[in-house]
Amino acid sequence: MESKPIRIGIIGAGFVGSAFARLLLDDSRSRALTDAATVPVELVGVCVKDAQKKRTGVPNDLITDDVDALFAKDLDILVEVIGGIEPAKGFIEEALKNKISVVTANKALLAAHGYELSQLADENEVDLFYEAAVAGSIPVLRSLRSSLAGEQIVRVMGIVNGTTNFILSKMTNDGLDYASVLAEAQALGFAEADPTADVEGFDPAAKIAILASLAFGTKLEGDEISREGISKIRAVDVEFARRSGYVIKLLGIAERVGDSGLSRRVHPTLIPLNHPLASVNGAMNAVFVDGAKSGPLMWLGQGAGGEPTATAVLGDVLDAARNRASHRHDVPFTFDNRLHFVAEGELRSAFYISIDVDDEPGVLASVAKVFADHEVSILSMEQSGEGPEARLSFLTHVARTDSVRATIADLGELPKVERVGACLRVLTEGL
C-alpha cells in the first residue's frame, strides 16, 4: 500500500461541487476515505467562475478562477461538475491527455460524447467515471459495469427525471391538471422557468442513452432516442389510468427486440400498480433492469440534490483513487455495436387511447371499425360524459405501433370525433 496522497481538483462549486468538497474536507470521514481509497485523498483546488463568492465549508485558499492554476497542481483526479458540453468537454480532454483520471456528473456531455471520451481515457490509461450523471445517488452504472458485466441485459427502464415524476405524482395524488401542477413546481423550484428539457423528455433521453450504452454495448446518443413528453397528459387520463389499475410515469426504455434489434425511447407509460416502478414517487428515481438470467432488478434512490449526487461522485473518486494507487485503470466497457436500431413503428405494445366525441348513435361503431381496419384489437372501452362532451377511453391488446398511429390518424378524420386526446403505451410485461 502506498502513502502518497491522491490529489483531487474540482471544476465547479454549485450544489454538487460544494457538497462533494465538504465530504472530502470532513475530518470525521477522513479515516473512512483513506481506508476506502487505500491511500489518503486530498482536495487541492476548486476552480469556479466567481472566486469572490463565498462557498460554505470550502476554504478560500482552495478556490481559484484560473483553470490553468488548478491543472498546475499535479492532479491525480479531476472532478467536473459544471455541466453542459463546453467548456466542460475541453477541460475533460485536457485532463485525460495529461493522464489525470476524470469523474464527472455531466449527463449531456456523456450522452453526446461518452464513447470518444472513454476511448481517450483508455488510450491514456486513466479512468473516466460518471456514476452521478444518471439517477443521482443510485450506484447503478458501476453495477452494470462490474456485477452485471457478464449478464445479457434484456431491458433497462428508468424513472430518471425528478421534475416530471414530481408533476405526474402530484397530478395522480391531487387530481390536478398538468398546467397548474407545472406552475406549482416552478414556484417551488422543482421545475425550470423553461421546463422543456424535462417535460419534453430531453433530460431522461440523455440518461437512458448512457444507461443503454453500458447495458447493451452499443454506441447511442441522446438525440437518437425517440421522445414523447408529458405536457399533453390531462387529469382525465391520470384518473382513467388509476381506475383501471395503472399509474402514469415518464419512462426511459432501452430493450432488445428479437435477436439483434434495440429499441430506445422516452414516453409516458401506464404502469400496473403492482409493478415496483409504480410506487416511485415525487423526486425519487428508479432504474429497472431485466437480465436474461438474473431476472428483474431494481435500484431506487434520490435522483438529484447536492449531497445525494455528491455521494455518487465520491464513490467514483474513491474507485479512481484505488486504481491509481495500484497503477491500473478500468478498461472501458466494450462497445460492439452489434445491435441495430429498431424503428418505433415496428414495436409492439398495448395502448391507452382516448378520444373526445360528439356522442350520437353510430359513433362507437364507426370508431370500432377504424380500430378493426388496422387490426388493433380492443381490450376494454369506457364512455364518460355525454352528448358533445363525451369521451371514449380504450385499452388495446398488444399491437404494432405504426398500426396504432394509423388508427389515431384515421380516427381524427371521423366527423364525430372532436379530437384524439391521449395515445399512451401500457406496460404489460411485468415483473
Binding site for its own copies (CB under 8 A): 1, 19, 23, 29, 31-33, 35-38, 131, 137-139, 142-143, 146-152, 217, 274, 276, 278-281, 284, 291, 293-302, 305, 307-308, 310-312, 314-315, 317-319, 322, 326, 328, 331, 333-334, 336, 431
Least Å from the CB of residue 107 to its own copies: 18
From the candidates 4, 207, 219, 293, give the one annotated as an active-site residue: 207
Least Å from the CB of residue 275 to its own copies: 9
Is 249 in the active site? Answer: no
Residue 379, H or E segment:
strand 378-384
- CA dihedral of 112, 348, 247, 265, whole degrees rounded to 10: 10
Are 208 and 251 contacting, i.e. CB atoms less than 8 angstroms apart?
Answer: no
* Closer to its own copies by Cβ: residue 146 or 196: 146
Helices (H), 217-348: 235-243, 306-325
* Closer to its own copies by Cβ: residue 105 or 317: 317
* Closer to its own copies by Cβ: residue 128 or 390: 128
- For 236, the grid coordinates are 382525465
- How far apart, in whole angstroms, are the C-alpha atoms of residue 308 and residue 131? 12
- How far apart, in whole angstroms, are the C-alpha atoms of residue 387 and residue 418? 12
Strands 284-291 and 295-302, by their bridges, are antiparallel
Q: Write the single-letter amino acid at 25.
A: L
* Closer to its own copies by Cβ: residue 297 or 381: 297
Q: How far is CA 101 from CA 12, 91, 111, 132, 139, in A?
A: 17, 12, 19, 15, 19
Least Å from the CB of residue 335 to its own copies: 10
- CA dihedral of 198, 216, 340, 253, whole degrees rounded to 10: -30
Least Å from the CB of residue 421 to its own copies: 30
* Closer to its own copies by Cβ: residue 29 or 99: 29
DSSP letter (8 states) at residue 388: G
- How far apart, in whole angstroms, are the C-alpha atoms of residue 18 and residue 418? 53
Least Å from the CB of residue 298 to its own copies: 4
- How far apart, in whole angstroms, are the C-alpha atoms of residue 56 and residue 34? 24
Give the residue numbers annotated as catalytic, written as ranges.
207
